[in-house]
Structure 1
Protein backbone atom coordinates (compact mmCIF):
# COMPACT_ATOMS: atom_id res chain seq x y z
CA UNK A 1 0.00 0.00 0.00
CA UNK A 2 1.12 3.52 -0.70
CA UNK A 3 0.78 6.37 1.77
CA UNK A 4 -0.87 9.64 0.87
CA UNK A 5 -1.08 12.94 2.71
CA UNK A 6 -4.32 14.85 2.30
CA UNK A 7 -3.67 18.55 2.84
CA UNK A 8 -6.64 20.65 3.91
CA UNK A 9 -6.40 24.36 3.22
CA UNK A 10 -8.99 26.69 4.67
CA UNK A 11 -9.75 30.36 5.15
CA UNK A 12 -9.45 31.09 8.87
CA UNK A 13 -11.83 34.07 8.73
CA UNK A 14 -14.46 32.03 6.87
CA UNK A 15 -14.10 29.24 9.44
CA UNK A 16 -14.68 31.65 12.30
CA UNK A 17 -17.74 33.14 10.57
CA UNK A 18 -19.36 29.68 10.46
CA UNK A 19 -19.97 29.74 14.19
CA UNK A 20 -20.42 26.65 16.36
CA UNK A 21 -23.28 25.06 14.37
CA UNK A 22 -21.52 25.51 11.03
CA UNK A 23 -18.24 24.24 12.42
CA UNK A 24 -19.99 21.16 13.83
CA UNK A 25 -21.40 20.47 10.35
CA UNK A 26 -17.84 20.52 8.97
CA UNK A 27 -16.67 18.17 11.71
CA UNK A 28 -19.54 15.86 10.75
CA UNK A 29 -18.22 15.83 7.16
CA UNK A 30 -14.85 14.72 8.51
CA UNK A 31 -16.46 11.93 10.53
CA UNK A 32 -18.27 10.81 7.36
CA UNK A 33 -14.95 10.99 5.47
CA UNK A 34 -13.33 8.68 8.06
CA UNK A 35 -16.28 6.28 7.74
CA UNK A 36 -15.94 6.23 3.93
CA UNK A 37 -12.22 5.56 4.20
CA UNK A 38 -12.87 2.56 6.42
CA UNK A 39 -15.62 1.24 4.15
CA UNK A 40 -13.34 1.63 1.13
CA UNK A 41 -10.51 -0.38 2.68
CA UNK A 42 -8.26 2.64 3.22
CA UNK A 43 -6.29 2.94 6.46
CA UNK A 44 -6.41 6.26 8.28
CA UNK A 45 -2.89 6.26 9.72
CA UNK A 46 -2.86 9.75 11.21
CA UNK A 47 -3.87 13.33 10.91
CA UNK A 48 -4.72 16.42 12.88
CA UNK A 49 -6.51 19.73 12.84
CA UNK A 50 -3.94 22.52 13.13
CA UNK A 51 -4.14 25.62 15.30
CA UNK A 52 -4.97 28.81 13.37
CA UNK A 53 -2.29 30.21 11.04
CA UNK A 54 -1.92 33.31 13.22
CA UNK A 55 -0.27 31.03 15.83
CA UNK A 56 2.40 29.82 13.39
CA UNK A 57 6.08 30.68 13.44
CA UNK A 58 7.98 30.85 10.15
CA UNK A 59 11.71 30.13 10.28
CA UNK A 60 14.05 31.21 7.50
CA UNK A 61 17.79 31.04 7.10
CA UNK A 62 19.10 34.14 5.32
CA UNK A 63 22.79 34.98 4.87
CA UNK A 64 23.76 32.62 7.66
CA UNK A 65 21.23 34.09 10.11
CA UNK A 66 18.06 32.51 11.45
CA UNK A 67 15.02 34.77 11.07
CA UNK A 68 11.79 33.92 12.88
CA UNK A 69 8.53 35.69 12.10
CA UNK A 70 5.01 35.33 13.42
CA UNK A 71 2.38 33.80 11.19
CA UNK A 72 2.49 31.66 8.06
CA UNK A 73 5.01 32.28 5.27
CA UNK A 74 2.41 33.88 2.97
CA UNK A 75 -0.47 36.31 3.36
CA UNK A 76 -2.84 34.13 1.33
CA UNK A 77 -6.36 33.80 2.75
CA UNK A 78 -6.20 30.00 2.52
CA UNK A 79 -3.68 28.36 4.82
CA UNK A 80 -3.12 24.76 5.87
CA UNK A 81 -5.77 23.88 8.47
CA UNK A 82 -5.15 20.16 8.84
CA UNK A 83 -4.04 16.93 7.24
CA UNK A 84 -4.68 13.21 7.06
CA UNK A 85 -2.21 10.40 6.44
CA UNK A 86 -3.90 7.55 4.59
CA UNK A 87 -2.57 4.18 3.46
CA UNK A 88 -4.32 2.74 0.43
CA UNK A 89 -3.96 0.47 -2.56
CA UNK A 90 -6.81 2.36 -4.26
CA UNK A 91 -5.75 5.96 -5.04
CA UNK A 92 -8.84 6.58 -7.19
CA UNK A 93 -11.10 5.47 -4.34
CA UNK A 94 -9.22 7.87 -2.08
CA UNK A 95 -9.89 10.71 -4.52
CA UNK A 96 -13.59 9.87 -4.42
CA UNK A 97 -13.60 9.88 -0.60
CA UNK A 98 -11.75 13.23 -0.56
CA UNK A 99 -14.41 14.81 -2.76
CA UNK A 100 -16.59 14.93 0.37
CA UNK A 101 -14.10 17.37 1.95
CA UNK A 102 -13.61 19.50 -1.16
CA UNK A 103 -16.94 21.34 -1.02
CA UNK A 104 -15.56 24.59 0.45
CA UNK A 105 -11.85 24.52 -0.37
CA UNK A 106 -9.80 22.33 -2.67
CA UNK A 107 -8.15 19.30 -1.10
CA UNK A 108 -4.59 18.39 -2.09
CA UNK A 109 -3.60 14.72 -2.20
CA UNK A 110 0.07 13.78 -2.37
CA UNK A 111 1.68 10.39 -2.35
CA UNK A 112 4.42 10.11 0.26
CA UNK A 113 7.72 9.77 -1.60
CA UNK A 114 9.36 6.38 -1.43
CA UNK A 115 13.09 6.00 -1.86
CA UNK A 116 13.42 2.27 -1.35
CA UNK A 117 14.98 0.17 -4.08
CA UNK A 118 12.54 -2.78 -3.85
Structure 2
Protein backbone atom coordinates (compact mmCIF):
# COMPACT_ATOMS: atom_id res chain seq x y z
CA UNK A 1 0.00 0.00 0.00
CA UNK A 2 1.30 3.45 -0.90
CA UNK A 3 1.86 5.83 1.99
CA UNK A 4 3.10 9.38 2.19
CA UNK A 5 6.11 10.27 4.34
CA UNK A 6 7.75 13.54 5.28
CA UNK A 7 11.53 13.55 5.41
CA UNK A 8 12.48 16.28 7.90
CA UNK A 9 15.89 17.89 7.61
CA UNK A 10 17.10 19.56 10.80
CA UNK A 11 20.35 21.44 10.94
CA UNK A 12 22.52 24.00 12.68
CA UNK A 13 21.83 27.14 10.67
CA UNK A 14 24.97 28.96 11.80
CA UNK A 15 27.18 26.10 10.52
CA UNK A 16 25.33 26.22 7.19
CA UNK A 17 25.86 29.99 6.95
CA UNK A 18 29.58 29.49 7.63
CA UNK A 19 29.94 26.65 5.10
CA UNK A 20 32.10 27.35 2.08
CA UNK A 21 30.56 27.34 -1.40
CA UNK A 22 32.31 24.01 -2.00
CA UNK A 23 30.80 22.49 1.16
CA UNK A 24 27.35 23.72 0.16
CA UNK A 25 27.80 22.33 -3.36
CA UNK A 26 28.66 18.95 -1.83
CA UNK A 27 25.43 19.00 0.19
CA UNK A 28 23.36 20.04 -2.83
CA UNK A 29 24.99 17.22 -4.86
CA UNK A 30 23.97 14.80 -2.13
CA UNK A 31 20.37 16.02 -2.41
CA UNK A 32 20.49 15.48 -6.17
CA UNK A 33 21.79 11.95 -5.62
CA UNK A 34 18.94 11.41 -3.13
CA UNK A 35 16.37 12.62 -5.69
CA UNK A 36 17.87 10.42 -8.42
CA UNK A 37 17.83 7.34 -6.16
CA UNK A 38 14.23 8.03 -5.15
CA UNK A 39 13.17 8.08 -8.79
CA UNK A 40 15.17 4.95 -9.57
CA UNK A 41 13.56 3.16 -6.61
CA UNK A 42 10.03 4.00 -7.71
CA UNK A 43 9.40 6.56 -4.98
CA UNK A 44 7.64 9.83 -5.86
CA UNK A 45 8.59 13.22 -4.45
CA UNK A 46 5.30 15.09 -4.16
CA UNK A 47 6.56 18.17 -2.32
CA UNK A 48 9.35 19.73 -0.38
CA UNK A 49 11.54 22.78 -0.04
CA UNK A 50 14.62 24.27 1.51
CA UNK A 51 13.46 26.67 4.22
CA UNK A 52 14.81 30.14 4.94
CA UNK A 53 16.68 30.84 8.18
CA UNK A 54 14.54 30.51 11.30
CA UNK A 55 15.24 34.17 12.17
CA UNK A 56 12.66 34.94 9.45
CA UNK A 57 10.01 32.77 11.13
CA UNK A 58 6.90 34.20 12.73
CA UNK A 59 5.27 32.47 15.67
CA UNK A 60 1.50 32.79 15.83
CA UNK A 61 -0.41 32.04 19.03
CA UNK A 62 -3.80 32.91 20.43
CA UNK A 63 -4.06 34.21 23.98
CA UNK A 64 -6.78 33.16 26.45
CA UNK A 65 -9.15 35.76 25.02
CA UNK A 66 -8.62 34.48 21.48
CA UNK A 67 -6.51 37.48 20.40
CA UNK A 68 -3.87 36.54 17.84
CA UNK A 69 -0.35 37.27 19.09
CA UNK A 70 2.49 37.26 16.55
CA UNK A 71 6.12 37.22 17.59
CA UNK A 72 9.37 36.68 15.75
CA UNK A 73 10.26 33.00 15.67
CA UNK A 74 11.50 30.38 15.77
CA UNK A 75 9.13 28.17 17.72
CA UNK A 76 11.90 26.21 19.44
CA UNK A 77 15.04 27.73 20.94
CA UNK A 78 17.48 25.02 19.92
CA UNK A 79 20.76 24.80 18.03
CA UNK A 80 19.09 22.73 15.31
CA UNK A 81 16.13 24.07 13.37
CA UNK A 82 14.07 22.58 10.56
CA UNK A 83 15.98 23.54 7.41
CA UNK A 84 13.93 21.73 4.79
CA UNK A 85 11.76 18.76 3.99
CA UNK A 86 10.70 16.33 1.29
CA UNK A 87 7.28 14.75 0.97
CA UNK A 88 7.55 11.30 -0.59
CA UNK A 89 4.96 8.72 -1.66
CA UNK A 90 6.11 5.14 -1.58
CA UNK A 91 5.02 1.58 -1.02
CA UNK A 92 8.50 0.55 0.17
CA UNK A 93 9.40 2.22 3.47
CA UNK A 94 12.46 0.03 3.98
CA UNK A 95 13.99 1.17 0.70
CA UNK A 96 13.02 4.79 1.36
CA UNK A 97 14.87 4.68 4.68
CA UNK A 98 17.97 3.31 2.96
CA UNK A 99 17.82 6.11 0.37
CA UNK A 100 17.37 8.71 3.13
CA UNK A 101 20.71 7.46 4.43
CA UNK A 102 22.29 9.42 1.57
CA UNK A 103 21.14 12.63 3.26
CA UNK A 104 22.43 11.51 6.65
CA UNK A 105 25.88 10.64 5.34
CA UNK A 106 28.94 10.77 7.59
CA UNK A 107 30.14 14.17 6.34
CA UNK A 108 26.71 15.80 6.60
CA UNK A 109 27.42 17.03 10.13
CA UNK A 110 30.30 19.24 8.97
CA UNK A 111 27.82 21.63 7.38
CA UNK A 112 25.55 21.62 10.41
CA UNK A 113 23.03 19.09 9.17
CA UNK A 114 21.58 16.77 11.79
CA UNK A 115 20.01 13.34 11.68
CA UNK A 116 17.13 12.97 9.26
CA UNK A 117 13.65 12.18 10.59
CA UNK A 118 11.08 10.27 8.52
CA UNK A 119 7.43 10.37 9.56
CA UNK A 120 4.33 8.94 7.93
CA UNK A 121 1.65 11.48 7.07
CA UNK A 122 -1.56 10.76 8.97
CA UNK A 123 -4.59 9.89 6.87
CA UNK A 124 -8.30 9.89 7.65
CA UNK A 125 -8.23 6.07 7.58
CA UNK A 126 -5.40 5.99 10.09
CA UNK A 127 -7.17 8.32 12.51
CA UNK A 128 -10.29 6.11 12.59
CA UNK A 129 -8.49 3.15 14.15
Which residue is 1:90 aligned to?
A: 92
Which residue is 1:71 aligned to?
A: 73
Distance 2:48 2:75 in 1: 22
For structure 2, the 5+ residue unaligned runs are: none
Distance 1:77 1:69 in 2: 19
Which residue is 1:3 aligned to?
A: 4
Q: Deviations over 1:9-64 (max 9, x none)?
A: 11100101112111111000000000110111111111100111010001111212
> Could you state the TM-score of these two structures normalised by the residue count of structure 2?
0.86
Give the superposed CA RMSD: 1.2
For structure 1, the 5+ residue unaligned runs are: none
More strand, by proportion:
1
Matched, 1:32 2:54: no
Task: Flag as ranges the 4+ runs of structure 1 deviating above 2 A.
Answer: none
SS of residue matched to 1:102: coil
> How many residues matched?
117
Once the two structures are overlaid, the 10-residue window that deviates more, 2-11 or 67-76, is 67-76
Which residue is 1:111 aligned to?
A: 120
> Could you state the TM-score of these two structures normalised by the residue count of structure 1?
0.94
SS of residue matched to 2:102: helix
Which residue is 2:60 aligned to?
A: 59
Which residue is 2:49 aligned to?
A: 48
Distance 2:100 2:14 in 1: 23
Distance 1:11 1:61 in 2: 29
